[in-house]
Amino acid sequence: MAKIGQLKEHASLLVFIVKLLDWLIICGGGWLGFLVLEPFKTFPDYTGLLPPNYLTAISLGFVFSAWWFPVFNVYKRWRGESIYEEIRTLFFSWASAMLGVLVFIVFTKTSVAFSRHWLAAWFALAFAGLVLFRIILRLTLRYLRQNGFNQRYIVLVGDGRLSRQIAEKIASSTWLGLNIVGFFSDTVQVQSVSGLKKLGSLAEMAAYVEKNAIDQVWITLPLKEIDVIEKLCHQLHTVATNVLMVPDMSSLRLLNQSVTQIDGIPIINMSVSPMQSGNLIGKWIEDKLLSLLILLLISPLLVLISLAVKLTSQGPVFYSQERISWNGKRFKMLKFRTLAVDADNQKGAPVWGGARSKQATPIGHFLRKTSMDELPQFINVLKGDMSIVGPRPERTVFVDQFKYEIDCYMKKHLVKAGITGWAQINGLRGDTCIKTRVDYDLYYIEHWSLWFDLKIILLTLCKGFVHDNAY
């Protein structure tokens, strides 16, 4: 183990170098943006590197980034975590720093002294540089870890199914730089787990960790053995190593599980909405900007469809129906009317599905087949009732029915209902299996990101409008 700890011993130095390069990238981005625009823009006369006011702005960018990046946990240990999550954190951190610069410019009434193109170029170039640096850093660390450097040595506590899964996962992910030395267990019969050697009983663990260069202890015991876990933690108070609890919750259907703290009290999030903090702001901006842009682009089409609906059948142009969205909120979802008035009710009671058996208006069949009857829902998005991407909303009466019949059905309401979604672009629309749809909706919630939203929107444009089940 002595060979491998070289980079680990200099982890603090590495963080300092990363911070230093971040600051250089941010300042260099402002300078490079100025150089790129200088032949095309009229900047004030200056001597030296840049005009004084531009140097002041770049200095403020450096100060705000040095302040905000640690607040957003940019410099935490990202080993094993998604690059997309790190890029998202970088984006909001750098955007907050730039917002601080813009607020300063506005309050000092010097906004006219700066080029808006330069501010945009500075933001884009610096962000691109920060992302490129992270990618290079990850690739470098991955290479070093695969070649035996920057390793973390781990022992497992437990010999159950979870320990086997962890051992197999880490063995196939050498780029993580994690090395499981073995495991401790009180089970006499078990001497190996997925190729790992048993190192001793639970009572012998603290002494072993103290004598060997062990970085982390991962406790994989089931939660029902809480007394044993408490005893182990007390024993490990005598050694300087990190202790991690890996609870076995595979039998539970969880969404966005994580661990947080409320006034110092550790809390396990078992099923929570991803729409919190920066995610909520990003989703709101995405919905408002895109829905407004789309409504402006399709406004002539909306007028033509409205005229066609009105001229080919009696009744209103729009059809509104109560649906359920985020946190059980009720709203009136808009559609172009495609059926005769009251055609959606049979014998006075609403009926789920069966769209093909209902008589459509002359224009209704075309609108349903092409999904154009859904276009007014961009108004719902602009109002805040829906999102562009999310699980399709159901009527109140069916929600009250399905929540008892389908496991985890109500968890689809942890996000706003959407016009399109992961289920829809995979063909699950119309009279398809509602349980399978819910599975796809829960997958979307579990893996949500702005990039995932954009992917779904692009796939909808490519293949989502016309489908055999779109009726």
Query: What is the β-pairing status of strands 265-269 and 258-262?
Result: antiparallel
Q: What is the pLDDT of residues 201-252, one digit of tens each?
A: 888 888 888 888 788 888 888 877 888 888 888 888 777 778 888 876 665 6
Most confident region among 17-31, 245-259, 390-404, 430-444 by mean pLDDT = 17-31
Q: Is the pLDDT of residue 427 over 50?
A: yes
More confident site: 45 or 118: 118
More confident site: 31 or 148: 31
Cα(415)–Cα(328) distance, integer angstroms: 10
Set out the domains of the chain in order of their start, with CATH numbers.
2-146 (no CATH), 152-249 (3.40.50.720), 277-464 (no CATH)
pLDDT band at 3 (very low <50, low <70, confident <90, very high): very low
Tokens representing residue 67 in the block: 């302040």
Tokens representing residue 88 in the block: 């998202």
Per-chain mean pLDDT for the chain: 82
pLDDT band at 61 (very low <50, low <70, confident <90, very high): very high
User: Could you tell me the pTM of the whole model?
Assistant: 0.55
Cα(182)–Cα(356) distance, integer angstroms: 60
Nearest 5°: phi and psi at 198?
A: -75, 125
* C-alpha pair distances (Å), 222 with each of 156, 159, 337, 453: 13, 10, 55, 36
Cα(312)–Cα(310) distance, integer angstroms: 6
Nearest 5°: phi and psi at 433?
A: -65, 120
Collapse the DSSP code of 118 into the 3-class scheme (helix H, G, I; strand E, B; otherwise coil) and give the result.
helix
| C-alpha 461, offset from chain centre | 22
pLDDT computed for residue 9 by the predictor: 47
pLDDT band at 38 (very low <50, low <70, confident <90, very high): confident
pLDDT computed for residue 259 by the predictor: 66
Nearest 5°: phi and psi at 260?
A: -135, -175
Q: What is the pLDDT of residues 256-295, one digit of tens each?
A: 666 665 555 566 676 777 777 677 888 898 999 999 999 9
pLDDT computed for residue 23 by the predictor: 92
Q: What percent of the chain has pLDDT over 70?
A: 84
Cα(147)–Cα(152) distance, integer angstroms: 13
Collapse the DSSP code of 437 into the 3-class scheme (helix H, G, I; strand E, B; otherwise coil) and give the result.
helix
Q: Which of 99-103, 166-170, 454-458, 467-471 has the lowest mean pLDDT?
A: 467-471
The alpha carbon dihedral of 280, 281, 282, 287 has a sign of: positive
pLDDT computed for residue 469 by the predictor: 56
pLDDT computed for residue 5 by the predictor: 44
The torsion defined by the Cα of 270, 271, 272 and 273, in degrees rounded to 10, comes to: 150
Q: Which of 42-56, 128-142, 179-193, 337-351 has the lowest mean pLDDT?
A: 337-351
Q: What is the pLDDT of residues 297-349, one digit of tens each?
A: 999 999 999 999 888 888 888 988 899 888 778 999 999 988 877 665 555 55
Continuous segment of H or E residues that includes residue 205: helix 205-211
Q: What is the pLDDT of residues 84-105, one digit of tens each?
A: 888 998 999 999 999 999 998 8
Nearest 5°: phi and psi at 182?
A: 170, -165
Query: Do the beta carbons of residue 78 and residue 86 sit within 8 Å?
Result: yes
Nearest to 28 by CA among 16, 36, 39: 36
pLDDT computed for residue 292 by the predictor: 93
Q: Is the pLDDT of residue 430 over 60?
A: yes
As a whole number, mean pLDDT of residues 371-398 equals 90
pLDDT computed for residue 124 by the predictor: 94
Task: Report the interhelical angle of 116-146 vs 83-107 (nearest 10°).
Answer: 150
Collapse the DSSP code of 90 into the 3-class scheme (helix H, G, I; strand E, B; otherwise coil) and give the result.
helix
Q: What percent of the chain has pLDDT over 90?
A: 23
pLDDT computed for residue 468 by the predictor: 58
Q: What is the pLDDT of residues 353-370, one digit of tens each?
A: 555 556 778 788 888 888
